[in-house]
Amino acid sequence: MSLESPQWATSAGGHKITLYHSHPLVELASLRPLLLIGGVHGDEPEGVALAQQLLAWLKSHTATVKNSWVLIECLNPDGFSRNQRTNHHGVDLNRNFPSRDWSPQHREARYFPGPAPASEPEIQALVHLVAQVRPRLIVHFHSWKPSVVFAGPPNHPAPRFLSESSGYPVQPDIGYPTPGSLGQWGWLDQGIPVICTEEEERVSATETWTRFGPGLQKIFGQEIPLPLK
Ligand SMILES: [Zn+2]
Mean pLDDT score, 65-73 = 98
Ligand 1 centroid to residue 40 C-alpha, Å: 6
Q: What is the helix (H) or strand (E) element at residue 150, kind and residue range?
A: strand 147-151
Ligand 1 centroid to residue 143 C-alpha, Å: 6
Mean pLDDT score, 55-63 = 96
Ligand 1 centroid to residue 170 C-alpha, Å: 16
Residue 119 in 3-state DSSP?
coil
Ligand 1 centroid to residue 47 C-alpha, Å: 8
Q: What structural domains does the chain harbor?
A: 3-220 (3.40.630.10)
Residue 11: is its pLDDT beyond 90? yes
Phi, psi torsion values for 137, nearest 5 degrees:
-160, 140
Task: Choose among 123, 138, 116: nearest CA to 69.
Answer: 138
Half-sphere exposure of 77 (CA within 13 A, CB side): 15
Residue 188 in 3-state DSSP?
helix
Ligand 1 centroid to residue 203 C-alpha, Å: 15
Q: Strand 194-200's sheet: what is its strand order? A: 3-10, 16-21, 69-72, 34-38, 137-144, 194-200, 147-151, 170-171
pLDDT at 228: 83
Encode 171-196: b = buried (16+ Cβ within 10 Å), e = exposed.
beebeeebbbbbbbbbbeebebbbbb
Ligand 1 centroid to residue 41 C-alpha, Å: 5
pLDDT at 8: 98
Ligand 1 centroid to residue 3 C-alpha, Å: 27
Residue 31: is its pLDDT beyond 90? yes
Residues 6+ apart with CB under 8 A from 127: 97, 98, 118
Ligand 1 centroid to residue 113 C-alpha, Å: 14
pLDDT tens column, 83-139: 999 999 999 999 999 999 999 999 999 999 999 999 999 999 999 999 999 999 999
Residue 211 in 3-state DSSP?
helix
Ligand 1 centroid to residue 2 C-alpha, Å: 27
Ligand 1 centroid to residue 176 C-alpha, Å: 14
pLDDT tens column, 143-164: 999 999 999 999 999 999 999 9
Ligand 1 centroid to residue 127 C-alpha, Å: 18
Residue 229: is its pLDDT beyond 80? no
How long is the chain? 229
Which chain residues have CB less than 5 Å from ligand 1, an ion? 41, 44, 142
**Rounded Cα distance, 24 and 65, in Å:** 16
With beta carbons less than 8 A apart as the criterion, state whether 192 and 229 touch.
yes
pLDDT at 148: 98
Ligand 1 centroid to residue 208 C-alpha, Å: 15
Ligand 1 centroid to residue 27 C-alpha, Å: 31
Ligand 1 centroid to residue 177 C-alpha, Å: 14
**Rounded Cα distance, 5 and 20, in Å:** 6
